[in-house]
Chain A
Amino acid sequence: MSKPKFAMYWAAACGGCEIAVLQIKEKILEVAENFDIVFWPVATDFKYKDVEAMADGEILLTLFNGAVRNSENEYMAHLLRQKSQVLVAFGACAAQGGIPGLANVSTAAEIKELVYIDNPSVQNPDRVFPVERFEVPEGELDLPHLYDTVRALDQVEDVDYYIPGCPPEGPQIWAVLETIIGILKNGGDLPPKGTVLGAGTKTCCDECSRVKKEKKITGFKKPWEVPWDPETCLLEQGIICMGPVTRDGCGGRCTSVGMPCRGCYGPPPGVTDQGAKMLSTLASIIDAESPEKIAEIAATVPDPLGTFYRFGLAKSMLRRAKV
């Protein structure tokens, strides 16, 4: 009997997810032993046409990382959906839009202008931009079309499971793969569709080792602005930590080394908009007597959009008025 087929794809993402898979270390051999790796551009030399040639549903498991922000990403999302029995949104970008999702406050044209013209390290007096189609003697070259709006995978295609994280933690990835391998070998039911795998069901605070007390914030600070204190809850120190609105599963790694949670595991169960939830939570613990004082404290939040929606803007309730 041939082995079940496995694919991994890298869409609009930094590549960290690809590396993260290797954090399962020697277990990768077990993956190779149990699966037939049929498509994994970063690791193996397969072409899109190989996937196109497959029968529908031929791939058992596809881990799709990265957001969907251009025509190529979108094409591959549809193609891999068609060819896979189980499509997993792998990592924060596929699951929530991730950091690329922050582009949703600009348009593609604005971004190109910034990159090719306004960038201080770029000299481009002739305003040369990449073009989507270009004739060369050998034929026509093309580049994917960049969209205005970055989307998470499930805003483009039907998704079976989510593995959150920027990137997902190695042990969590292995736990998911191990479960699937176990089910393949010994039978059993897959979790219900839509399940978030490789993560917990509470918040990051549950795993964080710091001591938590009642919180009253009189001003926000950046991590380097407070004296080193490995004990006290970072939020209580005035550092904006997304822990209370972020799903657990990472093991509280950032907070254990004094860095605030950035929210990469996405919202916990029951929360739809992580950023809005954080605003509601923070607003509740600001300690001020007057509206003026509240405004003063709120003004000390560094980069509100990037802080509260670092990973979640694409799937948040904040949308372009006209898409």
Chain B
Amino acid sequence: MAESTNGEPRIGVYVCDCGTNIAGKVDVPAVVEFAGSLPHVAVAREYKYMCSDPGQEIIQKDIKEMGIDRVVVAACSPTMHEPTFRKAVQSAGLNQFLFQMANIREHDSWVTEDPVEATEKAKHIIDAAVHRVVFQEPLEAIEVPMNSDVLVVGGGIAGIEAALKMADAGHTVHLVERDPSIGGHMAQFDKTFPTLDCSACILTPKMSAVGKHPNIKLHTYSEVTEVDGYVGNFKVKVNKKARYVDIDKCTGCMLCTEQCVVAKVPNEFNESLDNRRAAYIPFPQAVPLRATIDPERCLQLTRGKCKQTCVEACGPGAIDFEQKDELVELEVGAIIITTGYQTFDNERIARYGYGQLPDVISSLEFERISNASGPTGGEIVCKNGEKPRSVAILHCVGSRDENYNEYCSRVCCMYSLKFSHLIKEHLPETEVYQCYIDMRCFGKGYEEFYKRLMNEGVVFIRGRAAEVTAASKRQAETEGKLLVTVEDTLLGVVRHLPVDMVILSSALQAQPDAKEVAQLFGFGCSSAGFYIERHPKLEPVSTVTDGIFIAGCCQGPKDIPDTVAQAGAAAAGALALVDNRTVKIEPTISYIDPEKCSGCHICVGLCPHNAIVYDAELDAAQVIEAACKGCGVCVSACGSNVPVQRGFTDEQIFAEIEGALA
């Protein structure tokens, strides 16, 4: 490698066209010329795609032949290609931290309208990077042991699938589920589109496999309350809510349920269409098949007074009213979040009458009444117990609507078709109307399923329903019916459909606590609350936090095949990490010089990762390297600027500011 002659830095600046992404707006040759004129810059070049192999080779060649000892690439966001260029620089023999990325795409060409301004901005961004890179120092990644256990949060089909995959690969998997049983939404369905497999038939074996798997530690009725650490070494606190039942003793015999005196608790598994007891098992296939006592409804727990017939009935003596919440601490190497979705609150669209008109029901309610193990034993009936002679299914309730959710929920067209089929199967004489905006049947076998339904006599009306009202009592032929007003946009007429039942195909939405969960685990969520993947195409199940993955509907509405595919991808991503013995962590962490520290303790209590300890012998605070995440809290809090964040020193940051303002 050619040495620099006088100890002065020799900087190479490489400006990427990114096809037309950058060059379409920024005058790249002018920017290159400008970069070449900056102090210490030995070479400045333009290339069409810097991230391509030939692009990287240009940099490597310059390092080897020209003695370039600091590299600036002006291209896209560092979240995109910083790793690419770091590797390229390192393999040419230069320390990867002597590289700096200047983002002239996301921060500039994509967001600046005027080409002249965009070009000027690119110069400033590059100037900042050049100023900064002068002060950058070689750093070495820190290698720490990898914990091979994994955590899955959310026990719907996504969590079940991911847990089984990783457990089968020989890893200990902790599966944390908020409800008393795993299963998620899929456990509520009777059939699944487009193949019409019986949901229970395909889900139950997986659920019981989870329950029996020697490598899976199931934590139901539990929630994660604290997450600390970093890839390879996460420390997680899980609150196991008191079930008031010793699950080691409980046999799932349901005698406590039968004897429980509190009978009128709305049964959430059946969408509150019927009631359960305060002592309950959510559904017969529940895993674990163990009772839970509802602390908000149990007389003993709310009023301290009950005959305790459940205790009497329980042979093994599993009921324990003294049980307390328990905090379990887990250590894992990787985490997969599969917390799923909730459905839209139909009452928000008052004109559809949900909550007012008894036979306007939600899609999940229909799932339950069409389910053989549901509250009606699979009989599709109205609230008065009679079979509906006509049913309207209203699409896009809360989806594709700027007032609620702009996005398409992706599964409603298909489950609406499924519902039509189930109605036609149970009640062939019943008329079924679908009021849709567009039929979106994009998946494998979906279009075919749609065709099949068209031949089953379902009436498709293209138009979003305007309202649902109770038909006037004065008109004999429609008395007691619901009237659906909809503009049939293909015929250009407004229709009033008299029906006995209206099913609202409600949107899929992020969980109500999605934002808090995202914050807890340290990644972002969209304004709608769906978790943001690291890259929409190339890293759809990774998050910005290394070692934390997402899968299923928590990332966005999707069907079961996509959910399961993502779960597998997330499991593969996690396995690719935890199968290593060690993990390299970024060396851009904090360092405290004991010679300079006064031991005032200000930083000690502040470190969010407990990475700072007070060393009495040195009378100084010290950073535990493996625990430090380089957040910078200690750096800003210290009264005497003693902690130094490597890679973000005052010198580097001030130089960068100076360059940006130059």
Contacts and interface: CB of A to CB of B under 8 A. Distances in A.
Interface of A: 201-206, 212-216, 233, 243-246, 248, 267-271, 277-278, 280-281, 284-285
B602 A202 contact: no
Interface in B613-638: 619, 633, 636-638
Contacts of B650: 270
A149 B488 CA distance: 78
A212 B641 CA distance: 18
B593 to A, nearest CB: 10
B598 A277 contact: no
B605 A271 contact: no
A277 B641 contact: yes
A243 B640 contact: no
A280 B637 contact: yes
A281 B597 contact: no
Contacts of A216: 605
A107 to B, nearest CB: 30
Contacts of A243: 600, 639
Nearest to B641: A270
A54 to B, nearest CB: 41
B170 interface: no
Nearest to A245: B639
Contacts of A202: 596-598, 640
B606 interface: yes
B602 A284 contact: yes
A211 to B, nearest CB: 9
Residue from B606, B619, B638, B650 having most chain A Cβ neighbours under 10 A: B638
A281 B639 contact: yes
B598 A244 contact: yes
Contacts of B602: 215, 244, 281, 284-285
A268 B600 CA distance: 13
A284 B606 contact: yes
A47 B601 CA distance: 52
Residue from B606, B638, B639 having most chain A Cβ neighbours under 10 A: B639
Contacts of A205: 598-600, 639
B640 A212 contact: no
Given A201-B596, A243-B600, A244-B602, 6 more contacts: A205-B600, A206-B619, A212-B601, A214-B604, A243-B639, A284-B636
B636 A203 contact: no
Given A284-B606, A284-B633, A285-B606, A213 B640 contact: no
B73 interface: no
A204 B640 CA distance: 10
A53 to B, nearest CB: 45
Interface in B627-661: 633, 636-642, 650
Given A214-B605, A284-B633, A244 B639 contact: yes
A281 B619 CA distance: 20
A214 B601 contact: yes
A285 B599 CA distance: 15
Nearest to A242: B639
Contact of B639 (A203, A212, A214): A203
Interface string B561-600: 0000000000000000000000000000000000011111
A285 B637 contact: yes
Contact of A244 (B600, B604, B606, B633): B600
Interface of B: 596-602, 604-606, 619, 633, 636-642, 650
A270 B642 contact: yes
B637 A268 contact: no
5 contacts: A201-B596, A212-B600, A245-B640, A267-B640, A270-B640
A203 B598 contact: yes
A155 to B, nearest CB: 21
A111 to B, nearest CB: 32
B532 to A, nearest CB: 25
Nearest to A202: B598
A267 B639 CA distance: 9
Contacts of B599: 205-206, 212
A200 B626 CA distance: 32
Nearest to A287: B605
B642 A281 contact: no
Contacts of A271: 639-641
A285 B639 CA distance: 12
B658 to A, nearest CB: 15
A98 B569 CA distance: 64
Contacts of B641: 268, 270-271, 277
A170 B194 CA distance: 90
Contacts of A281: 602, 637-639
B601 A215 contact: yes
B618 to A, nearest CB: 12
B605 A244 contact: no
Contacts of A277: 639-641
Top 8 closest pairs, chain A to chain B, by CB: A214-B605, A244-B639, A284-B637, A205-B600, A206-B598, A245-B639, A268-B640, A270-B641
Contacts of B619: 206
Contacts of B600: 203, 205, 212, 233, 243-244
Residue from A269, A270, A278 having most chain B Cβ neighbours under 10 A: A270
B603 to A, nearest CB: 8
A123 B640 CA distance: 48
A233 B638 CA distance: 16
Contact of A285 (B596, B598, B605, B640): B605
Given A284-B606, A284-B633, A285-B606, A203 B601 contact: no
A215 B602 CA distance: 6
Residue from B598, B606, B636, B637 having most chain A Cβ neighbours under 10 A: B598
A46 to B, nearest CB: 41
A278 B600 CA distance: 13
Nearest to A205: B600
B640 A244 contact: yes
Residue from B596, B601, B636 having most chain A Cβ neighbours under 10 A: B601
Given A206-B599, A212-B599, A212-B600, A280 B605 contact: no
B641 to A, nearest CB: 4
A233 B605 CA distance: 14
B655 to A, nearest CB: 15
Given A270-B641, A270-B642, A280-B637, A248 B598 contact: yes
A215 B639 CA distance: 13
Contacts of A245: 639-640
A280 B650 CA distance: 15
Nearest to B650: A270
A6 B142 CA distance: 56
